[in-house]
A and B are shown apart, each in its own frame.
Chain A
Amino acid sequence: MTGTGGALFAAVFLACAVEAVEAVTIVLAAGTARDWKSAGYGVGAGLAVLAVITAALGPAVTAIPLGALRLVVGGLLLIFGLQWLRKAVLRASGHKDLHDEEAIFARELAAAKAAESQGRFAVPDWYAFTLSFKGVVLEGLEVIFIVLTFGANAHDVPLASLAAVIAVVLVVLLGLAIKAPLAKVPENTMKFVVGVMLTSFGVFWGAEGADAHWPGSDAALLVVVPCVALYALAMVAVMRRSAPKPAAPSPELIAEGV
């Protein structure tokens, strides 16, 4: 695997793992509070919808000429990446609450317990079905977007797909094993890293798609990624000075080394 291939694998793996953690939290809440069978149907239906979307979008994306693809996808990745990075910096600097899977699980659990039970079609509990379905489809859409854009741009959809499959399978197995929210996963740090990767790839491919030539060609990416990371960390340091709480950084991010 080349340096760029390694960066591609790492970016897709981390991004998909984060999305999978969020989807697993929702499905676990639906299954625990309501009905595992209906939640399972929801997962199955969600995966079927995602398969149809992938089958429709996959060939279309890979058929676009590389220059145009890099321009469009680079721009989209950059907009998308800056969103992630902004939230990650706000969280790391104390301006936004850390993403807490335990709190989200508790909230979803309470809402699921309060909702009325109603069966529809062959589904015993419609609430559990729709909750799981929405969680899988919404988080899965982001996984598809990341795999197709990264894979097509790097001319390596198989590597991007492999990274996504490994990430999702690992997270699902972990979720099934402990049947509890994956609170130990360093999700906030992972989101920070994913924001850095999406932004870096967006800058690199966007400029290439707009006919710019990077000094050192693909090797420039190995400079862009650390530069974006350092810039984001500098922003965290600056923003911490005006944090609403005492300027102490979050324990999770200290423990995770960010």
Chain B
Amino acid sequence: MNTLIKRLKDFGAFWYDFVVGDDWRVAIVVLVALAATFGLSKTSVAAWWLMPAAVAVIFPLSLWRARRR
């Protein structure tokens, strides 16, 4: 049983590392930006700029954090 749980944990950890990587904040910002873009697209305001803006903000922050590690 313990072996099974360990294998499941390892499997989950592999996929977490594969998709999210070492900065989960990036994943959160991307998800929030996608939700905000969807919300904005339902209004009369253009929504295309939100994703590039989110990248422009989170990318240097992520680099800054990685540099300090």
Chain A residues with CB under 8 Å of chain B are 71, 74-76, 78-80, 82-83, 85-86, 89-90, 95, 141-142, 199, 202-203, 206-207, 209-215, 220, 224, 227-228, 231-232, 235, 238-239, 242
Contacts and interface: CB of A to CB of B under 8 A. Distances in A.
Given A231-B56, A235-B59, A211 B23 contact: no
A210 B20 contact: no
Contacts of B18: 141-142
Given A79-B21, A141-B18, A206 B34 contact: yes
B40 A228 contact: no
B26 A212 contact: no
A90 B66 contact: yes
B56 to A, nearest CB: 7
* Chain A contact residues: helix, strand, loop or mixed: helix
Interface residues of B, number: 33
B50 A90 contact: no
A202 B19 CA distance: 13
B48 A213 contact: yes
Contact of A82 (B42, B50, B62): B62
A44 B40 CA distance: 49
Contacts of A238: 60
A75 B30 contact: yes
A80 B20 CA distance: 7
Given A210-B37, A211-B47, 7 more contacts: A80-B19, A83-B23, A86-B23, A86-B62, A203-B55, A211-B38, A212-B48
Given A71-B34, A79-B27, A212-B37, A86 B66 contact: yes
Contact of B34 (A75, A80, A142, A214): A75
B55 A79 contact: no
Contacts of A95: 66-67
6 contacts: A86-B62, A207-B47, A210-B35, A210-B41, A210-B51, A232-B59
